[in-house]
Amino acid sequence: MASLNVIREASCAEGFCSLGCIAWLYRKIRGSFFLIVGSHTCQYFMQSALSVMIFSEPRFATAIIEESDLAAKTADFAHLELDRIVGDIVREYNPTIVFLVGTCPAEIIKVDLQNIGEMLTQKYGRPVMFAPVSGLEHTFTQGEDGVLQALLTISPEEAPGTARELLLVGAVGDLVEDEILEQLAELGIPVRGVLPARDPRRLPAIGPNTVAVALQPYLSMTMNALKRRGVEVLACRTPIGPAATRQFYEAICRAFGKEPPDRLVELEAEAWERIGPEREMLIGKRIAIIGDNLLELPIANLLYEMGAEIVELSTPYFNRKAMAADVACLPDGLTLYEKPDVIAQAERVIALKPDLTICGLGLANPFESRGLPTKWSIEFTFTPIHGFKHAKDLAEIIARPVRRGNLMAQRGWYVDQSAPRVPA
């Protein structure tokens, strides 16, 4: 295990609200509808961050808690209002599942969405599930953790005598999911299913003969909930990048009593070969990662494996146990800031002058204006990057701004402004 120096600064998490996870989950879970029980702020966030056009018929909406509702503040009131809205949704969209999405305002005034969901499930004959996705504590990818926990509460129990099978946990694009399933079939691994299932009416059964593995590093609450149901949870690297993907499949093979085949080493070598030019470009590059999506550790590992050096690393949330396999591959003595003080961090990064800074949208322009090439971290969330086949997409995301930075520096387009602070 690498010795990671973790500094917890307990500052505000600088990133999107966890409601952002609805952007990929409403597409992934077919027939679902996400009803956000929140404020005008939540609604504005969803409209502006997701930029979804009304004609694309997004399957999410916001039930807005007004000030007058706060005054009423009774369980009956919330129940009646949500009953009316869910009734409209059922008539108009006929969803297979409705998520009552808890937000900061709903949490603060203690709307009992759990209880209301149970009553509406009975009334409308389909699951109406409470999903705690408030932005109070969590970063945007962790919203998925809340939704998956809600799904777990309705996933059936394993029948006695069920064979030992693998459960993949985490939403990835359908294409990536199919590729992973194909690879597991080639390796002869019996697969129970995927959480979230594309069809929420066919959730995988859960029990002591389930062996779960996370596809994303931000699902610690779901993995703990699985453990409580007797599931064996594998500690594997997140399958992002050629080496991590090989190790991910090797760990699964071993868990199922199989010797990992040499083919995995070949697939890793082929993936490295495909990204040879990007790897060459990144050798010796100094990279800062200002985290906001919890993919920071897998990305840092990949960058090291590509020959780059991490000069600054932070994450909004660090769970040493859940991230142990990714931590183990980091170089010794690396410092990780958890919830860093953003101003102090920006000053460090400006002084360090890295060749590339991976950061959220809000910091990218101030860094660019100081001659520091950046990459929006959100691209790692919305691009297929898992598995052997997507190593090229992943490497390109990282290499493109370095290439652009080199070109701009050659042409003298960057102006080195050594102003000490990033504007608020």
User: Rule CB under 6 A: which residues touch ligand SF4?
Assistant: 17, 19, 38-39, 41-42, 45, 103-105, 134-135
C-alpha span between 378 and 413 (Å, rounded): 26
| Shortest separation between residue 17's beta carbon and ligand SF4, angstroms | 3
C-alpha span between 238 and 241 (Å, rounded): 9
Q: Which is nearer to ligand SF4, 140 or 304 (CB)?
A: 140
Q: Per the structure block, which two tokens stand in for 82?
A: 């949500």
Q: Which is nearer to ligand SF4, 42 or 395 (CB)?
A: 42
Do residues 3 and 332 touch, judged by C-beta distance below 8 A?
yes
| Shortest separation between residue 397's beta carbon and ligand SF4, angstroms | 26
Determine the residue with CB nearest ligand SF4.
135
Q: Which is nearer to ligand SF4, 38 or 117 (CB)?
A: 38
Do residues 112 and 133 touch, judged by C-beta distance below 8 A?
no
Q: Which is nearer to ligand SF4, 134 or 183 (CB)?
A: 134
Q: Which is nearer to ligand SF4, 103 or 374 (CB)?
A: 103
| Shortest separation between residue 103's beta carbon and ligand SF4, angstroms | 4
| Shortest separation between residue 16's beta carbon and ligand SF4, angstroms | 8
| Shortest separation between residue 46's beta carbon and ligand SF4, angstroms | 8
Strands 232-233 and 5-8: unpaired
C-alpha span between 46 and 227 (Å, rounded): 33
| Shortest separation between residue 83's beta carbon and ligand SF4, angstroms | 22
Q: Which is nearer to ligand SF4, 17 or 323 (CB)?
A: 17
Q: Per the structure block, which two tokens stand in for 62?
A: 């916001």
166 Cβ contact partners less than 8 Å away, ≥ 6 residues apart: 184, 189, 190, 191, 192, 211, 212, 213, 252, 256
Neighbours of 265 (CB within 10 A): 12
C-alpha span between 367 and 382 (Å, rounded): 22
